[in-house]
Amino acid sequence: LSQSALDGYPVCIFAYGQTGSGKTFTMEGPAPPGPPESRGMIPRAVRHLFRGAQDLAGKGWQYGFSASFLEIYNEGLRDLLLAKGERGSELEIRRLAPDSDELHVPNLTWVPVQSEEQVLELLLRAGSQRSVARTGLNERSSRSHSVFQLRIQGHHAARDLRCASSLTLVDLAGSERLEKSGSVGNRLRETQSINSSLSALGLVISALCNK
């Protein structure tokens, strides 16, 4: 799938499951980053893309990459790559153009990246700002969905060819049963929002499958 993104196809992968099942670890690996063999899907996918771009450079292709990290918390959007204390603009999901199905988030931070290490730094920055809390089911529960997106721009000057695509890796908040999690107050509101959005996602995927 990572190779398909490099070839010009938009790719999206979700980590989905109950709270505490290991979705964030699967996507990001341990914090702070451990040895390469323990790293998660995001750094591994990015490493594959950078190596693929190097191989294709010998065939005349030049690639550029930029990354964003977005959090969806209680139906609101937060930019996880802002500097600490920095207040960003209010974020909304918009169509790229009135006749386009492509979506974007104006004013979201995009950071040019050229190595796996740069992406690991972004993971640390985003992780320090993500909404997490302790619940009855999980010591450190993600209370939001996080969306890592890598924009890929390719150009072959000699043949005047261009390609553009994206790799989107989504760490969904975990579904949970209220009677088991013991959520009250803010935790209750988060749980209701998480479960509602996961149900909506299921309906969207079902509708897409049924065209």
Annotated binding site: 17-24
- Note the pLDDT tens digit of each residue in 187-210: 778 888 888 889 999 999 999 999
Residue 153 corresponds to which tokens in the numbers above?
A: 């721009």
**pLDDT exceeds 90 at position 138:** no
pLDDT for the residue numbered 103: 86
Mean pLDDT of 133-150: 69
Residue ranges of the binding site for ATP: 17-24
What total number of domains does the chain contain?
1
Q: State the SS3 of the chain.
A: CHHHHHCCCCEEEEECCECCCCHHHHHHCCCCCCCHHHCCHHHHHHHHHHHHHHHHHCCCEEEEEEEEEEEEECCEEEECCCCCCCCCCCCCCEECCCCCCCEECCCCCCEECCCHHHHHHHHHHHHCCCCEECCCCCCCEECCEEEEEEEEEEEECCCCEEEEEEEEEEECCCECCHHHHCCCCHHHHHHHHHHHHHHHHHHHHHHHHCC
Domain with 122, as residue range(s), is 1-210
Closest CA to 105 of 116, 125, 90, 123: 90
Q: In this predicted structure, what is the pLDDT of residue 184?
A: 60
Tally Cβ neighbours within 10 Å of residue 74. Answer: 15
- CA atoms within 13 A of residue 39's CA, in its CB half-sphere: 19
The pTM of this model reads: 0.85
pLDDT at 177 over 80: no
For the stretch 47-105, pLDDT in tens is 999 999 999 999 999 999 999 999 998 888 999 998 777 777 889 999 989 888 888 99
87 and 81 Cβ atoms separated by less than 8 Å:
no
What's the CATH number where 14 sits?
A: 3.40.850.10
What pLDDT is recorded for position 146?
92
Tell me the average pLDDT of the chain: 86
